[in-house]
Structure 1
């Protein structure tokens, strides 16, 4: 999010796109044949890009990842993301550079399921970001978050739903991650990270209800006093939402970014048919 709250950005590099309809129905089962860089701009202007590409468009080593015309590189202190994509469903150019500068790095990943098949690593919960786009013309700075996820089986095989929230604090950040597994068990993570990335578990805050989305997707969060409200809607899909909240965590008034995911809805055939309109696949790559 920008320091003034007017702009936001999400960038996700997928190797084996978990939400890809093409990957779901592919016969090759090759995750590297289903890669994408998802870029979303919030505020004005708003943009969305997520073009899936095949193995021939992928190159990577220990410090760089290239997917088609876009790429990410790590120099030891900052992650630089070069973006050159086409938006969907209405095509336009989306070109620019994003730099994420972590204030500290965390020691390792968390396992989300009982079998150890899904791992989440909040690498840099507290970071600074610099955004500079030429198409559209846009530049701002703000606070950011950087993580990685990897898994051995499809998400919908292991989980039914989850909610996640990350809030910057005066010293570091707080993250809430409440997961409902397919067998009905739960994994509820309530974490505080200092600016250097050192984590510690905190007592789970009080559950706080949130109104359902426009698609009637149920959602909730946690806060110190059991109260939270939605300030801004970023994404509203049949199976997923991303929002900006107002809440109180770790004794501070904060504005968390909140996500809710329903994997039973995601698995519905009608939802699968809708996905290609937002996630085209590049031909011949």
Structure 2
């Protein structure tokens, strides 16, 4: 699979009747957990899911070069750092009535083993067998060290074979691996056994995330038709926001839709993180905050996309907030490091 430095941007790629926007590039199909990551860079795989009854949710982020790590940020202030020294296998489960369990332990490269089809960090791993991803989670939750033990199975409806350059200089890329997927969560130690609709993607950068972006807003939603809508607004210093509005079909097709300016949403209740809904003027019918941190918000959202209702996950990120030293001193409470 190509690394960002090997991507060849094209003006447009036609898929059926759809034309993709500029800054797309083709890539080999499938998955490669062994991609090279440059010093100070990052690579992550992200998955989320909402249960069929709408009462539970899950996010999983697997890092080589944890972009939200206070330890990685502190080390970079001393000079260039190997991304593999700061890895994490983060899993968060959202249950009924606001119940939440999270495991977000950072580990060193000495505990990392990866090849094209597998990634193992400490006692947890994820494997791709050509049909589905199977994550086997064996972690401790913080702050009370409750065991999080079990599996998460991600079965894509199709794999995409395109990446998108997110910044002006080609240092940050986004690969929507499986915008439409079926996910089965079986984590009995935290009382989570359910299935639902899900999503999986990957991001890769050759520099720290804060060097490329001041922040972004992102949302993905499963539409009533079964398609997936994705809205992105990535903000960069001294540049206009980079916006995209995409629709993914269950067969892997991609259609570009007209982008618009974002709409302000209510900030989070505790940390007052600003939230915006990219490329739509429609206010959501539902906005349920799942994560309210000093620099990041995750929410469950119900709204319409070009007139079609959809339910999904919304994220707002402020890298300007993350770069504050006082914010980084708070994070080890949630993100312990084991060497």
Report the aligned-residue RMSD: 1.5
Aligned equivalents of 1:107, 1:23: Cα separation in 2: 31
Equivalent runs, 1:1-285 vs 2, <5 Å: 1-26=50-75, 27=78, 29-44=81-96, 45-169=99-223, 170-204=225-259, 207-214=262-269, 215-222=271-278, 226-282=282-338, 285=339
What secondary structure, in the 3-state scheme, does the structure 1 residue paired with 2:144 have?
A: coil
Q: CA deviation at 1:205?
A: 5.1
What secondary structure, in the 3-state scheme, does the structure 2 residue paired with 1:100 have?
A: strand
Q: CA deviation at 1:251?
A: 2.6
Aligned equivalents of 1:160, 1:98: Cα separation in 2: 32
- 1:54-87 Cα deviation digits (max 9, x unpaired): 1110001111000000000000010000000011
Q: CA deviation at 1:228?
A: 1.8
Q: CA deviation at 1:191?
A: 0.4
**Contiguous gaps of at least 5 residues in structure 2:** 1-49
Cα pair 1:172 1:196 within 8 Å, conserved: no
| CA distance 1:25–1:225, change in 2 (3 Å) | closer
Aligned equivalents of 1:106, 1:156: Cα separation in 2: 27
Cα pair 2:243 2:278 within 8 Å, conserved: no
Q: CA deviation at 1:220?
A: 1.2
Q: CA deviation at 1:240?
A: 0.5
| CA distance 1:229–1:68, change in 2 (3 Å) | same
Q: CA deviation at 1:184?
A: 3.0
Aligned equivalents of 2:282, 2:249: Cα separation in 1: 24
Cα pair 2:231 2:279 within 8 Å, conserved: no
- 1:16-46 Cα deviation digits (max 9, x unpaired): 1001111112256011011110100002442
Aligned equivalents of 2:279, 2:205: Cα separation in 1: 29
Cα pair 1:129 1:142 within 8 Å, conserved: yes
What secondary structure, in the 3-state scheme, does the structure 2 residue paired with 1:97 have?
A: strand
**Contiguous gaps of at least 5 residues in structure 1:** none
Structure with bigger strand share is 1
What secondary structure, in the 3-state scheme, does the structure 2 residue paired with 1:4 have?
A: coil
TM-score, normalising length from structure 1? 0.95
